[in-house]
């Protein structure tokens, strides 16, 4: 692939680079030259007003394959990732069968081969996510796994969690927890607060997240030498707990989803089951704490928790309905609209959360906008105003409350592995 | 389920307009969408108000205008009088030719019979679906069940379901002409119960403004409490929610704008009425209190024991069925201040009034 990108603003946090009016010459998928006033020698694209950043990486997506291809496939999921401007994603292991064995890893890898979007795979931490036996971490690590998690459920037993930490550190695996104290969240579709009280639905209290997060941090610290990552945190208390742990030097990282900083529990009254998430949408106070945590570095990454579900799984009552929404295609516009455009985060800070930090947490090689490296780029217009429509959706499922929403910030394209994609 | 069904994704709120074009303006789906478009609020609220100009539903008391409530109560007074006439009762013909389906996804005897009698007395045909022996237990979704019933041509559905929001959700998915009545959804609302309670309170106490109504029991799981709170506040009553701290929902003071307490004795001192909620034994498995004895000693009304500090004129309500010896003892339940049996009688009258009001919007163009 040969292409000249013209008049772009390059923002690359890894090089502390923010330069406007730059041209990038790509030859055979590699960045050959970066400069000003480069002469086109073949295809070129004028990117005036657009930002070119190191490719975005989403470390928490559900691609549903194998086993639930009616919701999403690796192909449709990676297509959605590409449409959302991501050049890499990590898929979670709650498939059927779960990613507890290397043969599932090879199956997934084969399906994802040759795509613009790099696929990293997360294995389970216990066999079939049942919480009873350790997964085959050695074999999983050898097949290229860098992260393990029983995502969707938290590991209930503290003793088992300790063993997971002890065993995982032999293979330098990042241990990721879905923090939920399950005895406190039985049939609880919404946050415990205003909406649960008003509607008479069982509440999923913030403390149920914080209990497991605290326990894990204590165990990780006790075991030592292990890297812990808390998935999709949602509460003010969680931000405080991680901040305090980091200040003590515990090797903890964490992420938040766009919907947890874009919506409060009030969305349940407007959107019904489309606003049913796990963890649930919280309050404005929690959102303020999350944004503060993003700002001060307590929260490392923005991940989507892209969770495709078929229509009939959402078109039902609040208790039976599935948790979660698709997120890959709304992540960037939600981030720009709610974090950057609102003045809470700079573009450099935002890109750091979407590109640099996820790869760092997973210990993947960093990507840079640098001569001589493979072009791995996310290109977006941070000022474009547009409306998200159902026909835009590339994911196989359409479960999102954001249809019809006006956004600021739009993906223009992405380049990786010698391929480029320009949605419109 | 292919792409066609995808149209319903996100059908709770935003995003209707864009589908109009390819559905065709005349299709029933398009009509439904057009109606839904005019409804701005959320699923639990958006079909509650009288506003869809073509249809009246009763989904909550929270969104029911006070003028409508007053009219329903007035009409229920009329029907109570009428029901006093000795048998044989002259069936009304108001709803002749109308069919009402009672869809009780959750078991109920009293409410179901009360609705059935009201339907019969208003002249409607009716069918009733209960959980046992229906497809509900075979994994059919609630929406499918209701769509099937609707396809057999009914004019209204009366819905009871164990999950909050289901009647509102169904109202959003049913064609324009099918009315929806909430007969109790989860711990959310039970509007006809609150209407009948208010009618009896009004009969006993007169104007409810400034009257102190104490609601006692399992507030956390009670749709009766929620519907009553919204309704009583609209009439200016002072509402107090009382129960053990494990059964009081968080932030109830702020959410409902009422007083909340776990001290029944204190709350009852100046009470004009006390509404005792039924303890659902099956829900108490969660260990909300140590034993029924402990509960009733603190939150039960007996002739001599707990709650004895209430004034002699304080009236007593209970939505039934009473767990005798738990919420009320037999003496209190059958006593002079008890409205329990009057409530039952009123239930039929109120439901007749609701049915009449719902269908009235179709037979005349009169707007209140």
Q: What is the pLDDT of residues B227-236, one digit of tens each?
A: 999 999 999 9
Average pLDDT across chain B, whole number: 83
Residue B236 at interface with chain A, using a CB cutoff of 8 Å: no
Band (pLDDT 50/70/90 cuts) for residue B136 is low
Strand partners, A381: A410
Fold of A3-51+372-393+407-421: Urease, subunit C; domain 1 (2.30.40)
Q: Could you tell me the CATH superfamily of domain A55-362?
A: Metal-dependent hydrolases (3.20.20.140)
Strand partners, A123: A148
Residues of A in contact with B11 (CB under 8 A): 315
Q: What is the rounded average pLDDT of the residues B77-103?
A: 89
Q: What is the pLDDT of residues B137-195, one digit of tens each?
A: 556 788 888 888 888 899 999 999 999 999 999 998 888 889 999 999 999 999 999 99
Q: How far apart (Å, rounded) are the C-alpha atoms in residues B339 and B317?
A: 5
For strand A86-91 and strand A30-35, is the pairing parallel, antiparallel, or unpaired?
unpaired
* CA angle at B297 for the pair B291 and B300, rounded to the nearest 5°: 100
Residues of A in contact with B173 (CB under 8 A): 315
- Active-site residue flag, A305: yes
Beta carbon pairs, A and B, within 8 Å:
128
Burial class (CB in 10 A: 0-12, 13-18, 19+), B365: exposed
Q: Do B250 and A197 touch (CB under 8 A)?
A: yes
In sign, the C-alpha dihedral spanning A124, A128, A130, A133 is negative
Two tokens, residue B98: 């109308």
Q: Do A198 and B255 touch (CB under 8 A)?
A: yes
Could you say which of B13, B45, B189 has the minimum Cβ distance to residue A271? B13
pLDDT at B17 over 80: no
* B284 and B260 housed in the same domain: yes
Q: What is the pLDDT of residues A222-278, one digit of tens each?
A: 999 999 999 999 999 999 999 999 999 999 999 999 999 999 999 999 999 999 999
Two tokens, residue B160: 């009871």
Could you say which of B12, B45, B141 has the minimum Cβ distance to residue A271? B12
Q: Do B254 and A193 touch (CB under 8 A)?
A: no
Which residue ranges of chain A lie beneath pLDDT 70? none
Cβ contact A205:A184 at 8 Å: yes
Q: What is the pLDDT of residues A351-378, one digit of tens each?
A: 999 999 999 999 999 999 999 999 999 9
How many other β-carbons are positioned within 10 Å of the β-carbon of residue B94? 16
Residues of A in contact with B5 (CB under 8 A): 311-312
* B158 and B217 housed in the same domain: no
Q: What is the pLDDT of residues B346-367, one digit of tens each?
A: 999 999 999 999 998 765 443 3
Residue A269 at interface with chain B, using a CB cutoff of 8 Å: yes
Domain hosting residue B329, numbered range = 192-343
Looking at residue B352, what is its pLDDT?
A: 97
Q: What is the dihedral of CA A353, A357, A362, A366, to 10 degrees?
A: 120
**Which uninterrupted H or E stretch holds A335?**
helix A331-335
Two tokens, residue B227: 């519907």
pLDDT at B54 over 70: no
Looking at residue B307, what is its pLDDT?
A: 78
Q: What is the rounded average pLDDT of the residues B25-39?
A: 37
Q: Do B12 and A198 touch (CB under 8 A)?
A: no
Q: How many domains does chain B have?
A: 2
Could you say which of A316, A389, A399 has the minimum Cβ distance to residue B18? A389
* B143 and B219 housed in the same domain: no
Q: Do B255 and A194 touch (CB under 8 A)?
A: yes
Looking at residue A1, what is its pLDDT?
A: 84
Residues of A in contact with B6 (CB under 8 A): 311, 390, 398
How many other β-carbons are positioned within 10 Å of the β-carbon of residue B67? 10
Alpha helices in chain B (DSSP H): 20-23, 28-37, 66-84, 110-121, 142-151, 166-173, 191-205, 223-234, 252-256, 264-268, 292-299, 330-333, 340-363
* Token pair 């039934």 in the structure block, residue: B320
pLDDT at B20 over 60: no
Q: CA nearest B225 in A: which residue?
A: A200
Cα A241 to the center of its chain, rounded Å = 21
Please report, for the domain that includes residue B236, its CATH number: 3.40.50.1370
Two tokens, residue B184: 């109790």
In sign, the C-alpha dihedral spanning B83, B84, B90, B94 is negative
Q: How far apart (Å, rounded) are the C-alpha atoms in residues B225 and B222?
A: 5
Residues of B in contact with A310 (CB under 8 A): 1
Looking at residue B199, what is its pLDDT?
A: 98
| pTM for the predicted model, two decimal places | 0.90
Going from the C-alpha of B127 to that of each of A46, A107, B27, B130, B305, the distances in angstroms are 67, 53, 28, 10, 45
Residue A387 at interface with chain B, using a CB cutoff of 8 Å: no
pLDDT at B21 over 80: no
Q: Does a structural domain hold residue B227?
A: yes
Cβ contact B18:A389 at 8 Å: yes
* B223 and B185 housed in the same domain: no
* B245 and B111 housed in the same domain: no
* B279 and B352 housed in the same domain: no
The backbone torsions φ and ψ at residue B284, rounded to the nearest 5 degrees and listed phi first, read -85, 5
Band (pLDDT 50/70/90 cuts) for residue B133 is low
Looking at residue A63, what is its pLDDT?
A: 98
Q: How far apart (Å, rounded) are the C-alpha atoms in residues A415 and B151?
A: 52
Q: Does a structural domain hold residue B3?
A: no
Query: Catalytic residue among A150, A216, A305, A381, which?
Result: A305
Give the residue extent of every domain in chain A: 3-51+372-393+407-421, 55-362
**Which uninterrupted H or E stretch holds A211?**
helix A206-223
Band (pLDDT 50/70/90 cuts) for residue B85 is confident
Q: What is the rounded average pLDDT of the residues B34-49?
A: 36
How far away is chain B from the Cα of A333, in angstroms, using its nearest Cα?
A: 18
Could you say which of B1, B222, B249 has the minimum Cβ distance to residue A311? B1
Residue B233 at interface with chain A, using a CB cutoff of 8 Å: no
Q: CA nearest B252 in A: which residue?
A: A197
Q: What is the pLDDT of residues A227-238, one digit of tens each?
A: 999 999 999 999
Q: What is the dihedral of CA B291, B293, B294, B296, to 10 degrees?
A: 120
Residue A394 at interface with chain B, using a CB cutoff of 8 Å: no
Q: SS3 for B206?
A: coil
Which of A214, A301, A286, A212 has the alpha carbon at shortest distance from A255?
A301
Q: CA nearest B45 in A: which residue?
A: A269
């Amino acid at each position: 692939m040969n292409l000249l990108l013209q008049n772009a603003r390059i923002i690359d946090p890894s090089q502390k680079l923010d330069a406007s009016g730059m041209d990038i010459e790509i030859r055979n998928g590699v960045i050959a030259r970066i400069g000003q006033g480069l002469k086109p020698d073949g295809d070129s694209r004028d990117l005036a007003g657009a930002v070119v950043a190191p490719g975005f990486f989403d470390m928490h997506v559900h691609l549903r394959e194998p086993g639930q291809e009616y919701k999403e496939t690796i192909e449709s999921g990676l297509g959605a990732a590409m449409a959302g401007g991501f050049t890499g994603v990590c898929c979670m292991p709650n498939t059927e069968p779960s990613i507890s064995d290397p043969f599932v890893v090879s199956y997934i890898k084969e399906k994802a081969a040759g795509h613009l979007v790099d696929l990293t795979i997360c294995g389970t931490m216990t066999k079939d996510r049942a919480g009873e036996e350790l997964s085959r971490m050695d074999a999983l690590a050898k097949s290229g796994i860098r992260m393990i998690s029983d995502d969707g459920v938290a590991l209930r037993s503290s003793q088992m969690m300790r063993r997971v930490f002890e065993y995982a550190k032999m293979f330098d695996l990042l241990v990721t927890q879905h923090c939920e104290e399950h005895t406190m969240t039985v049939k609880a579709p919404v946050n415990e607060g205003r909406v649960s009280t008003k509607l008479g639905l069982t509440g999923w209290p913030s403390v149920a997240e914080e209990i497991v997060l605290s326990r894990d941090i204590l165990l990780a610290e006790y075991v030592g030498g292990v890297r812990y990552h808390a998935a999709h945190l949602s509460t003010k208390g969680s931000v405080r707990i991680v901040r305090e742990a980091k200040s003590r030097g515990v090797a903890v990282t964490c992420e938040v989803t766009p919907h947890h900083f874009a919506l409060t529990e009030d969305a349940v009254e407007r959107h019904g089951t489309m606003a049913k998430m796990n963890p649930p949408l919280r309050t404005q106070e929690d959102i303020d704490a999350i944004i503060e945590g993003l700002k001060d570095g307590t929260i490392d990454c923005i991940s989507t928790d892209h969770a495709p579900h078929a229509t009939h799984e959402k078109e039902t009552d609040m208790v039976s309905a599935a948790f979660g929404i698709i997120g890959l295609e709304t992540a960037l516009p939600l981030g720009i609209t709610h974090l950057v455009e609102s003045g809470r985060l700079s573009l450099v800070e935002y890109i750091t959360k979407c590109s640099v930090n996820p790869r760092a947490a997973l210990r993947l090689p960093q990507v840079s906008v640098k001569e001589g490296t493979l072009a791995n780029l996310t290109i977006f217009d941070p000022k474009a105003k547009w409306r998200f429509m159902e026909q835009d959706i590339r994911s196989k499922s359409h479960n999102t409350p954001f249809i019809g929403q006006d956004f600021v910030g739009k993906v223009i394209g992405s380049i990786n592995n010698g391929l480029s994609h320009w949605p419109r | 389920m292919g792409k066609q069904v995808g149209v319903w994704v996100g059908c709770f709120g935003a995003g209707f307009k864009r589908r109009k074009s390819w559905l065709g303006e005349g299709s029933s789906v398009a009509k439904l969408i057009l109606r839904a478009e005019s409804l701005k609020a959320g699923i639990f609220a958006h079909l509650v108000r009288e506003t869809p100009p073509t249809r009246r539903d009763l989904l909550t008391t929270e969104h029911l205008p006070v003028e409508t409530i007053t009219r329903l109560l007035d009409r229920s007074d009329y029907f109570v009088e009428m029901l006093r006439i000795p048998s044989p009762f002259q069936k009304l013909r108001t709803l002749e030719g109308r069919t009402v389906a009672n869809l009780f996804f959750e078991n109920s005897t009293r409410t179901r019979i009360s609705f059935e009698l009201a339907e019969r007395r208003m002249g409607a045909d009716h069918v009733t679906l209960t959980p046992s022996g229906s497809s509900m237990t075979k994994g059919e979704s609630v929406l499918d069940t209701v769509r099937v019933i609707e396809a057999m041509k009914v004019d209204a559905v009366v819905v009871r379901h164990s999950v909050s929001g289901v009647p509102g959700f169904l109202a959003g998915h049913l064609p324009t002409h099918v009315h929806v009545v909430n007969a109790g959804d989860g711990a959310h609302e039970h509007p006809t119960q609150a209407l009948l309670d208010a009618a009896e309170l009004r009969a006993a106490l007169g104007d409810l403004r400034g009257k102190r109504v104490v609601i006692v029991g399992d507030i956390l799981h009670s749709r009766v409490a929620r519907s009553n709170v919204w309704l009583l506040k609209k009439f200016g009553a002072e509402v107090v929610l009382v129960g053990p701290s494990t059964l009081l929902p968080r932030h109830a003071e702020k959410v409902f704008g009422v007083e909340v307490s776990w001290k029944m004795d204190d709350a009852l001192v100046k009470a004009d009425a006390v509404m005792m909620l039924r303890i659902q034994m099956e829900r108490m498995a969660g260990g909300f209190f140590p034993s029924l004895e402990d509960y009733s000693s603190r939150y039960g009304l007996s002739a001599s024991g707990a709650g004895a500090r209430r004034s002699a004129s304080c009236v007593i309500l209970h939505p039934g069925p009473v767990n005798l010896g738990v919420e009320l003892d037999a003496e209190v339940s059958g006593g002079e201040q008890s409205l329990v049996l009057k409530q039952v009688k009123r239930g039929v009258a109120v439901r007749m009034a609701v049915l009449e009001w719902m269908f009235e919007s179709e037979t005349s163009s009169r707007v209140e």
